[in-house]
Amino acid sequence: MMISNQSYCFSGIATLYSFFFLVSLFLHTLASPMLHYCRHDQRDALLDFKHEFPVNESNSSPYLSSWNKTSDCCFWRGVTCDAKSGEVISLDLSFSPFNNSLNPNSGLFKLHHLRNLTLANCYLYGEIPSSLGNLSHLTHLDLSENYLVGEVMALVGNLTQLRYLSLSSNKFSGNIPVSFANLTKLSYLDISENQFESTLPRDMSRFHNLEEFYVGGNSFSGSFPTSLFMNPSLTWVVLTRNQFKGPIEFSNTSSSSKLQGLYLSHNKFDGPIPKSISKFSNLEHLFLGSNSFTGSVPTFLSKLVNLEILDLSHNNLVGPIPRSNIVKLKSLDLSNNKLEGEIPGWLAGLSASMLSGNSFKSFAKSFEVSDLTQIILLDLSSNSFRGPLPSWICKLRSLDLLDLSNNSFNGSIPQCFKNIVVDLRTLNMQNNDFSGILLPEIFVNATRLIRVDVSGNKFEGKLPESLINSRYLEILNVRSNRFKDKFPSWLSSLPSLNVLIIRSNEFYGPLYDHPNVSIGFQSLKVIDISHNDLNGTLPPFYFSNWREMTTLSKDISTGMYMENPGFSGGYYLPSMEMVNKGVDTKFEQILKDFRAIDFSGNNFVGEIPKSIGLLKGLRLLNLSGNAFTSNIPQSLANLKNLEALDLSRNQLSGQIPPDLGSLSFLSTMNFSHNNLQGPIPKGTQFQRQNCSAFMDNPRLNGLEDICGETHVPDPTPQETEDLSEPEEQQVISWIAAAIAYAPGVFCGFVIGHIFFTQKHEWFMEMFRPSN
């Protein structure tokens, strides 16, 4: 009994044991994919890594805050362990503001089993320590968008398991060593936007798995190793903005190539466009712009039956556009070549045609009779088109952007033009010979317009009041026409109007309809109404509702502002350089911190309104060539950002407010030809001015310091003219040019550039690859 009992008991315990064993086995089997069992060496390495970065409460890593010993390190944010071994195999800490460099003994390099390492956008500085070579299992390495420097490629060339490598947007330098071709498993390589240089290894044929290859925005030179194209999986190749040169041939490419995108723009490739390119039968995007390709636009391109975007702009191509069609093409950029002849009918089937900067003269009959409703963007600027607008223009009912600028179109704008502005956002007609009246109702359906430039024509009569329907209008430039109208104060109700240029027309009368109602141009940043027949007084509160101009830009050192202020040296030229370099500086960014007023060359009388002192963001102010009287308002000293001030050729009296001497950015000023008196303020900015800036103010004193001892302090009027004229002209035209830049030259440039930028972005957006 006992025995049996015992045995029962024993067997019972055994059963129980085996039950537990089975249960635990069962549970273990079930749960094992989820249990990680952080290995202590791995945990300690991670904690070491965490402690290498200064803790910043206000700006700490969203990941590292969860890293502490109370929890399993395999559950820490950004960490992935191998399920079986508990080794850390993946670390993804993107957007952690580490704000430091990696040290050679970093805990990071003790995580020998890492396969994925992603430290993108982490504010990492300095060089990558060679210990990175310890992470020999890495298959995925992403260090993009940091501030890393040094010659990293020899190091990375040892990580032979890599399939994905992104080092883009850092400051890495040096060349690509031959050993790099050992990374035969790579399928994705992005080293764009760095400072790599020299030539690429000749033999690039060993990347059998390579799909995407991005090296744009470096300083690579020499001929491009087309052996790369022998790799059968290639789909995207981007070489833009380097110095690759010479002719390029794709002779060893199989016709089963998977290549979908080939970007060679902004290099120094030359010679004719190679026929071998037509072997890439799957090509969808082909960018050959901004090189030195010669010859004609080849007909073999029509073999690229899948091509959707073709950019041949900024080359030396000659002759007419061939008649053969590229079936699926949507966007064609032929701008800035030496092409000529007529525009063939097949372009009517495209969404976007950029043809500017050639010598095109006319359109083929087949174009004119086509259905033109496919066309969304048409840029005909800077060609040799002349005569009245062709009647087919009114068939363009889907237009988003129309650029006719810098041709010799003439005659008036037909009434049916109002049908094509329905979707239009950008209209550029500047520098043509258009004349006549813009019909008042022409913009009645133009509810989407953002930019309108009709400057440099011979339009007359009134501004079309239907513009009031363009609620999104940001830029209106009607400079240099013959508009004869009252000041268009009704434009002040357009909530987004940033730039208003009516310079050099025949606008007349006062700036307001009712002297007691102040108009507020709430979004205006640049206004140029100079050289018209405007007159009357400006009430003291005139500027009090100009909201955008009253905001002081937060950080004057950002934007286009350079160390040495002064718009000729510091302000605009860099932006133009950037434009020339093809940097996509948005017009909005250029305008971001820029505020300017030019009221010069009118007949304004009375006091300069005190409310001018509210426009804290103002950088250029030109009130010259009017008949302003009384004192210069003290409130001008509030304009801390002011860089240029021209009050010359008025009838101002009293002293120059001494507080103006404290405006540290004020580098150019002109007070000449007034009735000012008393001392010139002591500020260094004043003392640095040319003598001529104060000329013809007989009762002003202190000129000796500025003009030098030898200078006659109070010259006769005759001498004034002789001595000061050239300098003075220079200052005035400087300001004119600067203001003109914002709207005119600058706008001629920038608006030209905006259109370019817009077009570029526009079509990239429109035709972004679907992957």
What stretch of H or E contains 16?
helix 2-31
Torsion sign over Cα 157, 161, 166, 170 = negative
Provide, rounded to whole angstroms, the least separation between the CB of residue 422 and ligand NAG. 5
The interface mask with ligand NAG, positions 603-632, x = CB under 6 A, is ------------------------------
Provide, rounded to whole angstroms, the least separation between the CB of residue 639 and ligand NAG. 28
- Residue 492 has which token pair? 């002040």
Given the rule CB under 6 A, which of 68-76, 208-216, 284-292, 313-321 is the region that contacts ligand NAG? 68-76
Number of other residues whose CB lies within 10 A of the CB of residue 327: 13
Q: Distance between CA atoms of 181 and 174, rounded to whole angstroms?
A: 16
Instruction: Looking at residues 146 to 165 of the shown chain, list those that interact with ligand NAG (rule: CB under 6 A).
Output: 154-155, 158, 160, 164
Given the rule CB under 6 A, which of 20-28, 108-116, 192-200, 558-566 is the region that contacts ligand NAG? 108-116
Contacts of 47 (CB under 8 A, 6+ apart): 67, 69, 107
Nearer to ligand NAG, 102 or 491 (CB): 102
Q: Distance between CA atoms of 372 and 388, rounded to whole angstroms?
A: 19
Contact residue for ligand NAG among 94, 281, 445, 634 (CB under 6 A): 445
Nearer to ligand NAG, 252 or 325 (CB): 252
User: Which residue in the block uniquely carries the two structure tokens 């396969």?
Assistant: 115
Nearer to ligand NAG, 422 or 766 (CB): 422
553 binds ligand NAG (CB under 6 A): no
Nearer to ligand NAG, 432 or 720 (CB): 432
Contact residue for ligand NAG among 15, 71, 299, 493 (CB under 6 A): 71
Nearer to ligand NAG, 47 or 723 (CB): 47
Provide, rounded to whole angstroms, the least separation between the CB of residue 249 and ligand NAG. 6
Instruction: Looking at residues 341 to 400 of the shown chain, list those that interact with ligand NAG (rule: CB under 6 A).
Output: 382, 386-387
Instruction: Looking at residues 197 to 226 of the shown chain, list those that interact with ligand NAG (rule: CB under 6 A).
Output: 226
Question: Taking the mean position of all CA atoms in its chain, how far away is CA 726?
Answer: 38
Nearer to ligand NAG, 226 or 635 (CB): 226
Give the angle 489-493-497 at the CA atoms, nearest 5°. 90
68 binds ligand NAG (CB under 6 A): yes
Provide, rounded to whole angstroms, the least separation between the CB of residue 81 and ligand NAG. 9
89 binds ligand NAG (CB under 6 A): yes
Instruction: Looking at residues 406 to 425 of the shown chain, list those that interact with ligand NAG (rule: CB under 6 A).
Output: 406, 410-411, 419, 422
131 binds ligand NAG (CB under 6 A): yes
178 binds ligand NAG (CB under 6 A): yes
Number of other residues whose CB lies within 10 A of the CB of residue 275: 14
Burial 675-698 (b: 16+ CB within 10 A, else e): ebeeebbebebbeebbbbbbbbbe
116 binds ligand NAG (CB under 6 A): yes
13 binds ligand NAG (CB under 6 A): no
Nearer to ligand NAG, 165 or 620 (CB): 165
601 binds ligand NAG (CB under 6 A): no
Q: Distance between CA atoms of 63 and 604, rounded to whole angstroms?
A: 63
Residue nearest to ligand NAG (CB): 59
296 binds ligand NAG (CB under 6 A): no
User: Which residue in the block uniquely carries the two structure tokens 């109208």?
Assistant: 485
What stretch of H or E contains 759?
helix 745-766
Nearer to ligand NAG, 440 or 658 (CB): 440
Provide, rounded to whole angstroms, the least separation between the CB of residue 117 and ligand NAG. 9
What stretch of H or E contains 155?
helix 153-156
Nearer to ligand NAG, 420 or 597 (CB): 420
The answer to whether 528 touches 742, Cβ cutoff 8 Å, is yes
Nearer to ligand NAG, 665 or 749 (CB): 749
Residues contacting ligand NAG: total by CB under 6 A: 51
Provide, rounded to whole angstroms, the least separation between the CB of residue 154 and ligand NAG. 4
Q: Distance between CA atoms of 607 and 364, rounded to whole angstroms?
A: 60
Provide, rounded to whole angstroms, the least separation between the CB of residue 280 and ligand NAG. 16
Provide, rounded to whole angstroms, the least separation between the CB of residue 128 and ligand NAG. 10
Nearer to ligand NAG, 340 or 548 (CB): 340
Given the rule CB under 6 A, which of 133-141, 449-457, 711-719, 725-733 is the region that contacts ligand NAG? 133-141
> β-strands 359-363, 386-388: how paired?
unpaired
Provide, rounded to whole angstroms, the least separation between the CB of residue 564 and ligand NAG. 26
User: Which residue in the block uniquely carries the two structure tokens 């460099």?
Assistant: 101
Given the rule CB under 6 A, which of 51-59, 345-353, 647-655, 686-694 is the region that contacts ligand NAG? 51-59
C-alpha distance from residue 180 to each of 533, 586, 637 (Å): 70, 37, 61
Instruction: Annotate 439-506 with DSSP letters as a single string.
Output: -TTTTTT-TT--EEE--SSEEEEPPPGGGGG-TT--EEE--SSEE--B--GGGGG-TT--EEE--SS-
Q: Distance between CA atoms of 588 and 754, rounded to whole angstroms?
A: 9
179 binds ligand NAG (CB under 6 A): yes
Among residues 640, 490, 614, the alpha carbon closest in space to that of 548 is found at: 614
User: Which residue in the block uniquely carries the two structure tokens 């030179």?
Assistant: 221
The alpha-carbon radius of gyration of the chain (Å, integer) is 34
Number of other residues whose CB lies within 10 A of the CB of residue 87: 20
Nearer to ligand NAG, 143 or 639 (CB): 143
Contact residue for ligand NAG among 11, 32, 85, 105 (CB under 6 A): 105
Contact residue for ligand NAG among 11, 56, 299, 733 (CB under 6 A): 56
564 binds ligand NAG (CB under 6 A): no
Instruction: Annotate 694-736 with DSSP letters as a single string.
Output: G-S-TEEE-HHHHH-TTS-SS--HHHHHHHHHHHHHHHHHHHH
Number of other residues whose CB lies within 10 A of the CB of residue 130: 13
95 binds ligand NAG (CB under 6 A): no
688 binds ligand NAG (CB under 6 A): no
Contact residue for ligand NAG among 508, 665, 734, 767 (CB under 6 A): 508
Provide, rounded to whole angstroms, the least separation between the CB of residue 528 and ligand NAG. 18
Q: Distance between CA atoms of 609 and 627, rounded to whole angstroms?
A: 13
Provide, rounded to whole angstroms, the least separation between the CB of residue 107 and ligand NAG. 8
Q: Distance between CA atoms of 702 and 746, rounded to whole angstroms?
A: 37
Among residues 405, 404, 401, 414, the alpha carbon closest in space to that of 375 is found at: 401
Provide, rounded to whole angstroms, the least separation between the CB of residue 531 and ligand NAG. 14
The partner residues of 219 in beta bridges, in order of sequence, read 197
- Residue 651, amino acid: Q
254 binds ligand NAG (CB under 6 A): no
Helix (H, G, I), strand (E, B) or coil at 319: strand
Burial of 718 per CB tally in 10 Å (0-12, 13-18, 19+): exposed
Binding footprint of ligand NAG on the chain (CB under 6 A): 54, 56, 58-59, 66, 68, 70-71, 80, 89-90, 97, 99, 105, 109-110, 116, 130-131, 133-134, 140, 154-155, 158, 160, 164, 178-179, 181-182, 226-227, 251-252, 382, 386-387, 406, 410-411, 419, 422, 445, 508-509, 533, 535-536, 748, 752
